[in-house]
Structure 1
Amino acid sequence: MIFPSLRDFLTNGRGLLAKGPIALILLEDQIEVDSSLRHAIKAGFHRVVAVGAPRIAVDADLADHVVRVHHDMQADNALEDIVNGVIAAAPGQWIHYAYNAEYLFFPFCETRTVGEMVAFSTEERRYSLLTFVVDLYADDLDAHPTAVSLSDAYLDKSGYYALARKDKDDTLLERQLDFFGGLRWRHEEHVPPPRRRIDRVALFRAQPGLQLRGDHTFSDPEYNTYACPWHNSLTASLCSFRTAKALRRNPGSAPHIKTFKWHNSAPFHWRSQQLLDLGLMEPGQWF
């Protein structure tokens, strides 16, 4: 099913959002569009919605499994307009948002579905899931000029850290941290400070009045916390080529980067256990 605009989808497609969990895959370019959509389908999302320009193609065999919504991802506030529009249209549903060439991994995702995970989180009265954006990059940039290769993907196995998050009055925020690492840390001279964080609440339960902000935080402070008050909470990883793509595409950074590999690079095995072992997500009380 194809909707010619975001407004048309939010007006006439609400019935498609009546059951979750829902995945919003935001298409910025043609790179790994189909693999991103297939990954979301395999994860167990009840509804997968691909939002992007009409020129971005989606494999014909995905037509019965994906809802297409035409929208300019380069428009101002595109992220907020899409996510907040779906929040308003699908109250009570769990929603995941990611870009193409990003892949959600959660503990035991090889044997459990995302629906099982959000059911557990709901039972714990936890309505948001903190995810860490783990940068992926190709080993050989000559062979893969866009820095994207599923079969030759690497990640950083160390170099991650967190700082206390403060509000505008310099007051510490309870159970909130700013997380850093990966390519945005190693090549921070090419990344504006507001875009250096790697934390993103990429899976959450919609509720009336909830708003996503441009810095990937929510209007409800509890949604931005890394754990509930009484114990550690489940977290996940969003394995992403997006930063590597941008650094290779940006004329200010591309000439200065011959490789993304360093002594702490490791092949990515596309398995949740590797991310658990590296401390890039944790199961909390979910066993």
Structure 2
Amino acid sequence: MRYTGITELLSQAPGALAKGPIALVFVEDAIEIDTTLRHNIHLGFKSNIVFMPSEFDLAGDIAEKVIRVDSEITRKGNREEIVNSIIAKAPGVWIYVCYNAEYLFFPFCETRTIGELLAFHTEERRDAMLCYAIDLYAGDLEAHPNAVSIDDAYMDRSGYYALGRNDPATNYPKERQLDFFGGLRWRYEEHVPPERRKIDRIALFRAKPELELRPDHTFNDEEYNTYACPWHNNLTAAVATFRTAKALKRNPGSAFEIETFRWHNSVPFEWHSRQLLDLGLMESGQWF
């Protein structure tokens, strides 16, 4: 199905939001749109709603399996407006938010579906899941000048850290909240605005009345922004993303300063959850 905008989607296709989990994919350019959607379909999302410019194409096998909404994700705040309008129409439904050239991984995702993951998370009385944006980049930038290559993808195996997240009202750290850093945003921080250097996202969450997504990938309900419940560790997930690498090679201020993203802590990305678990980049919690 295809709709001309978010208003038409909400008015004419309420069934698309009736049952989750739902994936919302925001397309910023024409890079790896089909692979992103195929990955989401494989994970088992009930609906994949893709917001993309009308001039972009989708593969035939993908077009018939997703809901396409013509949308230009360029104006600041447009993503939050769209997500929050969907939250208001889908109370109780689990939602995942990502961009093109981003791939969700969670513990044991090779043999378990996204529905199984969120069913367990719900049983633990959690309504949101912390995800880490793990930067991917092409190993050979001469062969792949846009820094994107599925077959030659690398990631950083170390260099990740967390700092306490202070509450401006009290100047004390917020309970069970941390700011996480690492990857290309850390190594090339001089080219990344301070407000965009964090790699933590609440990319998976359950909609409820008056819930609102904020520009920094957090929510107006502070419990949604926590990494775990008070009594034990909870599941976390990872979003393997080429988005930072693309931006650094597209930005004139950094493009010509970077000949390669590879360094002594680069390793080939294996496209498997075990690698991310072994590196401590996601947590299985009590789920075995």
Counterpart of 2:218? 217
Shift of 1:62: 1.1
Alignment of 1:195-274 (within 5 A): 195-274=196-275
Alignment pair present for 1:83 and 2:53: no
- Please give the alpha-carbon distance, in whole angstroms, between the structure 2 residues aligned to 1:227 and 1:192: 28
Shift of 1:105: 0.1
Deviations 1:236-282 (A, max 9, x none): 00000000000000001101100000000000000000000000001
Q: If the length of structure 1 is used for normalisation, what is the TM-score?
A: 0.99
Deviations 1:115-139 (A, max 9, x none): 0000001111001010000000000
- Please give the alpha-carbon distance, in whole angstroms, between the structure 2 residues aligned to 1:109 and 1:19: 21
Shift of 1:61: 1.3
- Please give the alpha-carbon distance, in whole angstroms, between the structure 1 residues aligned to 2:168 and 2:8: 37
Alignment of 1:178-197 (within 5 A): 178-197=179-198
SS of the residue 1:253 aligns to? helix
- Please give the alpha-carbon distance, in whole angstroms, between the structure 2 residues aligned to 1:207 and 1:32: 31
Counterpart of 1:67? 67
Shift of 1:56: 1.6
Counterpart of 2:4? 4
Alignment of 1:1-287 (within 5 A): 1-169=1-169, 170-287=171-288
Unmatched runs of 5 consecutive residues or more in structure 2: none
- Please give the alpha-carbon distance, in whole angstroms, between the structure 1 residues aligned to 2:202 and 2:274: 21
Q: Is the 8 A contact 1:213 1:219 kept in 2?
A: yes
Shift of 1:55: 1.2
Deviations 1:14-46 (A, max 9, x none): 211101100011100110000000000000100
SS of the residue 1:274 aligns to? helix
Deviations 1:193-247 (A, max 9, x none): 0000000010010011100001111000000000001100000000000000000
SS of the residue 2:253 aligns to? coil
SS of the residue 1:223 aligns to? helix
Q: Is the 8 A contact 1:27 1:56 kept in 2?
A: no
User: What amino acid does structure 1 have at the position aligned with 2:119?
Assistant: A
SS of the residue 1:246 aligns to? helix
Unmatched runs of 5 consecutive residues or more in structure 1: none
- Please give the alpha-carbon distance, in whole angstroms, between the structure 2 residues aligned to 1:114 and 1:88: 22
SS of the residue 2:56 aligns to? coil
SS of the residue 2:252 aligns to? coil
User: Which consecutive segments of 4 or more residues in structure 1 shift more than 3 A?
Assistant: none
Shift of 1:171: 2.3
User: What amino acid does structure 2 have at the position aligned with 1:101?
Assistant: A
- Please give the alpha-carbon distance, in whole angstroms, between the structure 1 residues aligned to 2:252 and 2:118: 41
Deviations 1:176-203 (A, max 9, x none): 0000000000000000000000000100
- Please give the alpha-carbon distance, in whole angstroms, between the structure 2 residues aligned to 1:152 and 1:112: 26
Q: Is the 8 A contact 1:165 1:173 kept in 2?
A: yes
Q: Is the 8 A contact 1:132 1:237 kept in 2?
A: yes
- Please give the alpha-carbon distance, in whole angstroms, between the structure 1 residues aligned to 2:167 and 2:214: 15
- Please give the alpha-carbon distance, in whole angstroms, between the structure 1 residues aligned to 2:286 and 2:270: 25
- Please give the alpha-carbon distance, in whole angstroms, between the structure 2 residues aligned to 1:179 and 1:13: 37
SS of the residue 2:240 aligns to? strand
Percent identical among aligned pairs is: 61
User: What amino acid does structure 1 have at the position aligned with 2:221?
Assistant: D
User: What amino acid does structure 2 have at the position aligned with 1:69?
Assistant: V
Deviations 1:92-130 (A, max 9, x none): 000001000000000000000000000001111001010
- Please give the alpha-carbon distance, in whole angstroms, between the structure 2 residues aligned to 1:56 and 1:173: 42
SS of the residue 1:50 aligns to? strand
